[in-house]
Amino acid sequence: MMQRSTLLSLAAALWLAGCASTGDEDLRKNAAEANFKLGIGYMQSGHFNVALEKLLKSLQYDENNPETHNAVALIYEEIREYGPAEAHYKRAIELRPDYTAAKINLAYFKCTREPLRLSEGESEFQQIAADPANAGANASEAYAGLATCAQKGNDPTQAETWARKAIEGNPNNIRALFALAQLSQSQGKTLQARAFLQRYHAQTRPTLQSLALGVAIESSKDGDTQLLREYTLLLKSQFPNSDEARRLKNP
């Protein structure tokens, strides 16, 4: 029979091993979270290469985090590494089958980055919109996605229908507002385009694309010269090395 002291020693050893295992797990979890937060911060500030480095480091500590895979996919898409982008979107959805944000991002990817898969992206958006579990903001995002697909497919009438449906579900849907501003500008509806773009800018910071659209809207015959000046100055100051800035005349 094993002596009591030996049993106690074994129990203590097992307890210490368990503590070490738990401690290692906590360290890995904390490292994954810290790198994830750093990656998101760099991503939001536009430092995509550093962001990608931090997020991939996070995955080394926790490979099964769907949010990290989704963020990595967004960056790969931004830097035009489309193969890895799709792989990480799919991995995020595999890890969390009800991860609607990743499904929406993957559908946008197919509509905007893979022209031959536009119909595939549309089908996925339709499925998201039809799912009762996605009522509200997610359905609005799906309709906005359908509007984007229709724009890519050169169907402005259908694009406007979908964008307005997105606005019905969420009046502040920035993708739908931007699409409606673009569509209105292309139809020569300056006042309407201006209103949609102003609503867009009320929800999010100006982008290169939104400022360029503002310049296009206010460059029309019934445009506002003061707004044109403001958009031009912002575009030149915030995106001085862009092709859009180089094409602009001094205000």
Rounded mean pLDDT, 34-51: 91
Q: Which residue has the higher pLDDT, 5 or 34?
A: 34
- pLDDT at position 12 is 64
Residues of the chain with pLDDT > 90, as a percent, come to 75
Asked if the model's pLDDT at residue 2 lies above 50, the reply is: no
Q: Residue 14's pLDDT band (boundaries 50, 70, 90)?
A: low
Rounded mean pLDDT, 139-158: 95
Residues 82 and 104: their CA atoms lie apart, in Å, by: 16
- Weakest-pLDDT range from 38-52, 54-68, 142-156: 38-52
Rounded mean pLDDT, 100-127: 93
Asked if the model's pLDDT at residue 1 lies above 50, the reply is: no
Asked if the model's pLDDT at residue 56 lies above 90, the reply is: yes
- Nearest partner of 231 among 246, 241, 216, judged by Cα: 216
Q: What structural domains and CATH numbers belong to the chain?
A: 35-97 (1.25.40.10)
> What value does the mean pLDDT of the chain take?
90
Asked if the model's pLDDT at residue 119 lies above 50, the reply is: yes
Rounded mean pLDDT, 161-165: 97
Asked if the model's pLDDT at residue 132 lies above 50, the reply is: yes
Residues 141 and 104: their CA atoms lie apart, in Å, by: 7
- pLDDT at position 144 is 96
Q: Which residue has the higher pLDDT, 118 or 16?
A: 118
Rounded mean pLDDT, 72-90: 95
- pLDDT at position 242 is 87
Q: Could you tell me the CA-to-CA distances from 164 to 8, 14, 143, 148, 187 in Å, in that order?
A: 71, 63, 9, 12, 16
Residues 198 and 211: their CA atoms lie apart, in Å, by: 11
- Nearest partner of 68 among 44, 40, 107, judged by Cα: 40
- pLDDT at position 199 is 97
Rounded mean pLDDT, 228-234: 95
Q: Which residue has the higher pLDDT, 161 or 2?
A: 161
pLDDT in tens, 176-188: 999 999 999 999 9
Cβ–Cβ under 8 Å, residues 104 and 74:
no
Q: How many Å separate Cα 240 from the centre of its chain?
A: 24
Q: Residue 245's pLDDT band (boundaries 50, 70, 90)?
A: confident
Residues 136 and 26: their CA atoms lie apart, in Å, by: 37
The structure tokens listed for 60 are 């080394």
- Is residue 50 exposed (0-12), middle (13-18) or buried (19+ Cβ within 10 Å)? middle
